[in-house]
């Protein structure tokens, strides 16, 4: 029987002022590389999964402002990264 972890890493992405928490399991380093490549190419969509297991496609251009921050928080069971099982609606409570 496995124990539920007491804490987890939470990554938040802010794109041009709009923010979302990335789902657990998202490869932040890979996402950063994809964002850098999109900005360098003149613009393309970058896909990722946010908390609640929702798929997001963001158009990243050379003028996009993107910030990713990482913190440790108490464990939450939702946001596993499985976009086939979305959780909630517009509000993740």
pLDDT reported for residue 68: 97
pLDDT reported for residue 72: 86
pLDDT reported for residue 9: 84
Domain that holds residue 41: 7-74
End-to-end alpha carbon distance in the chain: 28
Within-domain flag for 59: yes
pLDDT reported for residue 66: 97
Within-domain flag for 83: no
Within-domain flag for 84: no
Residue 55's DSSP bridge partners are 49
> For 73, left (φ over 0), alpha (ψ -120 to 50), or beta?
beta
Distances in whole angstroms, Cα of residue 27 to Cα of each of 2, 7, 48: 24, 18, 9
Within-domain flag for 70: yes
- How confident is the prediction along the chain (93 residues), in pLDDT tens digits per residue? 566 668 888 899 999 999 999 998 889 999 999 999 999 999 999 999 998 889 999 999 999 999 999 998 887 665 555 556 555 554 444
| Count of domains forming the chain | 1
5-8's contacts with Cβ under 8 Å and 24+ in sequence apart are 5/75, 6/74, 6/75, 7/72, 7/73, 7/74, 7/75, 8/72, 8/73, 8/74, 8/75, 8/76
pLDDT reported for residue 24: 85
pLDDT reported for residue 91: 47
Within-domain flag for 19: yes
Within-domain flag for 18: yes
Question: Please, which residues have CB within 8 angstroms of residue 89's CB and are 6 or more apart in sequence?
Answer: none
């Amino acid at each position: 029987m496995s124990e539920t972890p007491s804490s987890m890493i939470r990554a938040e992405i802010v794109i041009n002022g709009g923010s979302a928490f990335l789902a657990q399991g998202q490869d932040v380093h890979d996402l950063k590389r994809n964002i850098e490549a999109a900005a360098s190419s003149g613009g393309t969509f970058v896909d990722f999964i946010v908390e609640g297991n929702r798929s997001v496609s963001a158009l990243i251009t050379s003028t996009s402002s993107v910030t990713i921050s990482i913190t440790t928080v108490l464990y939450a069971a939702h946001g596993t990264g499985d976009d086939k099982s979305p959780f909630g609606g517009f509000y993740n409570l």
